[in-house]
Chains A and B, each alone.
Chain A
Amino acid sequence: MYAKTLGLLPTLPMRLFGQFLDMVKDLTSEISIYEAIQRSESNNLPFQIMIVDDDPDDQELLAEAFSKNSDQVEVTFAINGKDLLVKLEDAAEIPDLIIIDLNMPGINGFECLAAIKGNPLIKNTPILIYSTSANPEQIDLTYENGASYYIQKPSSYMEIEKIAAKVLSTPIIQFLEKRSRSEFVLRLD
């Protein structure tokens, strides 16, 4: 027992460090999220996406589109800004990606974005804006406040699926890179 414990003790930090190195490799590599989660399937760490939208239909449709692409994606929801901020505080793990609607009652998408980017603990979490509006001023504002991409809500389910696929096929590192304003609005090819 003692030996067993002794034997385990040095290996646990080593294993954790190894996992950490894997994560760093994943984070810095050019492989897509999809590939990354495929590879890490063995250690059973899902890719967490938090969807913040006051519209349950939109939540459902987007979640369905993501789940369809991979079962390793875990989608959680917040129904408005306040809910999001509470959930982020309580969460054991910070989501890997947050998708925020702009037009929400109470704390709206802009305020969520500002709150996340103003918090040093979570400011590196990539944020996608998911809004009905194509108002250039709103796009400018979210661009300046550090969102990764701006996605206009499409009006067909096929396009929602395409968006999910596109997001998952993007390397996580790319969300954290600064891009030009013209590349900020996510385009479906």
Chain B
Amino acid sequence: MNAIVLFLQLFDTTGFPPRWLCGTGWTEFLGWFYIGSNLLVWSAYFAIPLIILYYLFKKKDINFPTGYFLFAAFILSCGSTHLIDALIFWIPVYRFNALLLFFTGIISWITVVYLVKYAPVALTMKTASELEKEVESRKKAEEKLNIKIQQMNEAQSIAKLGSWEWDLETDEVHWSDGMFHIFEKPLQKDSLVFNKEILHHVPAEDQDYLKKVIKQAVDQKQFSEFHHRIITPTGKIKIIHVRGEVHINENGKVTKLTGTGQDVSELKKNEQELVSKTKELEEVNRGLQKFAYVASHDLQEPMRKIKTFLSLFEQTDKSNWNDKSQAYLGKINLSASRMQQLIDDILNFSRLASVDADFQRISLEEILHQVLVDMEVTILESKANISVGTLPEIEGNASQWGQLFQNLIGNAIKFKKPGSRPVIEIDSEIVLGNELKKEDGIKCNYAFKDWHEDYHWGREKFLRLLVRDHGIGFEEKYKDRIFEAFQRLHNVSEYEGTGIGLAICQKIAESHNGYISAESSENGTVFTVVVPLSQSYFRKTIDS
């Protein structure tokens, strides 16, 4: 009721005398001083919101704009009360003044509430100097980043590498400078569209393949590296090696692909050349071995003839020959025999290389037994004492192993200590790959054949065959030379032979993916042959 009266009589001055007439204390000076001071406050309080509004108008992007507005309203309403306070000296609108004071109070409290609420946030805001510092450090970071990007670009350009990012949702592809260099496209900052700007660089016959592997990566959510070709604007064909990964969002959808592209044309070219050169070399090698085989095979015939007719010649009547003729004939015969032996040896040696051995499950014990039977005469003549331990079954070529045993035993008998019987001990053990010595040739043998890539040869079982004699041995420095073809450590007059026996043994060990080595001391020589028990894995690798 009172409130309605207040509003109805808002500007009604009935019952209130103007302030000049209130009481007796107002002097002219005091009155005007009071009025002047109020107007001074009001004018200032009127100017402040104007300046704030101007500031707000000029600086559109500002924190807490409501706060500024509230503050402007608060100052403006405060100033208004001072204006009314001055007017009341003439027009005593106390009701209106009360209302105005009320509004001022409300706005003031809203401001208070606002300040309480936002003061903590405002406190966290950076001051200008703080901001400056931050800007400085950001600048430094940016510089560093630029250096890094530059380094990356340099590295990419050296490696002929580029990186890319393909946003599948927007279908935008971003390339590093390296990618542009590889494609020999002018640099561009904007994103690329795969189908429009990239795919046409790929030769038509590779395009379906490229689309297929990318689709596969998205479908399977796994990126497998692949190669494709591109044609540069200058018409050069390059081979690109692409590696990458898929990015999956929380719904399990592939949203992005990122990765690298590398120009491996040079590498591929070299690889190709290496393959064809290797093939060529193998071809030449095979040809040479075949030649050695054919040549020695054909040389056999006339050599045998010479020997045969020499034997007939010797049967003829020698009564009218002098001693010299006899001696010459003997020398011819010896040389012919030696020539024949050499030819036979070359034939055997080259046959090992030119024929792919047939590998089967074989019992080394049986093979050795047969060899000992075949060599019976030699063994009996030399009174050799041969002891044999247990030998396993392995995967190998029976006739090659027969030859190996025969050569090693023959060797041991031949190089016995003068004046004593040959003593030969043959034994074997099974060892794991990782128990073999590091420097053992076998590891290189496997590594060379890429076994290390996917196979732990250390788990493979190997046969270590030991053939020990108590013969004359050899000097340490010759331990490799003795396995070379036609290398001899003694004169023919001392020990007969052509020096191919151990070379054949080495070839046999190698054809079984193993090796042979020899150690010698004053107690004789130990030949060690190491071969895998099974050839199956090796062959699988070759076939694939």
Contacts and interface: CB of A to CB of B under 8 A. Distances in A.
A103 B308 CA distance: 19
Nearest to A152: B304
B351 interface: yes
Contacts of A137: 355
Interface in A92-139: 103, 132-137
Contact of B308 (A134, A135, A136, A156): A156
Say which size band chain A's interface belongs to: 10 to 19
A101 B297 CA distance: 14
A83 to B, nearest CB: 19
Give the size category of B's interface with A: 10 to 19
A134 B351 CA distance: 11
Contact of A133 (B300, B311, B355): B300
A182 B351 CA distance: 21
B293 to A, nearest CB: 9
Given A155-B340, A157-B311, A135 B304 contact: no
Main secondary structure of the interface of A (DSSP, over half): loop
Contact of B307 (A135, A136, A156): A156
A158 B305 contact: no
A140 to B, nearest CB: 9
Given A153-B304, A155-B304, A136 B399 contact: yes
A155 B399 contact: no
B312 interface: yes
A14 interface: no
Contacts of B454: none
Interface string B283-317: 00000000000000100110111011011100100
A160 interface: yes
Contacts of B370: 182
The secondary-structure label for the interface of chain B is helix
Interface in A43-80: 55, 57, 61
A153 B297 CA distance: 13
A156 B311 contact: yes
B304 A132 contact: yes
A157 B312 contact: yes
B297 A133 contact: yes
A57 B301 CA distance: 11
A164 to B, nearest CB: 14
Contacts of B311: 155-158
Nearest to B297: A133
Contact of A61 (B308, B315, B344): B308
Nearest to B313: A157
A155 B351 CA distance: 22
Nearest to B344: A134
Contacts of A154: 304, 308
Nearest to B310: A156
A64 B399 CA distance: 35
Contacts of A160: 308
Contacts of B351: 135
A49 B448 CA distance: 56
A157 B300 contact: no
Interface of A: 55, 57, 61, 103, 132-137, 153-158, 160, 182
Given A57-B308, A154-B308, A155-B303, 5 more contacts: A134-B344, A135-B351, A137-B355, A156-B308, A156-B310
9 contacts: A57-B305, A132-B297, A132-B301, A154-B304, A155-B303, A155-B304, A155-B311, A155-B340, A158-B311
Which are the 10 A-B pairs with shortest beta-carbon distances?
A: A155-B307, A156-B311, A155-B304, A157-B311, A157-B312, A136-B399, A132-B300, A132-B301, A155-B308, A157-B308
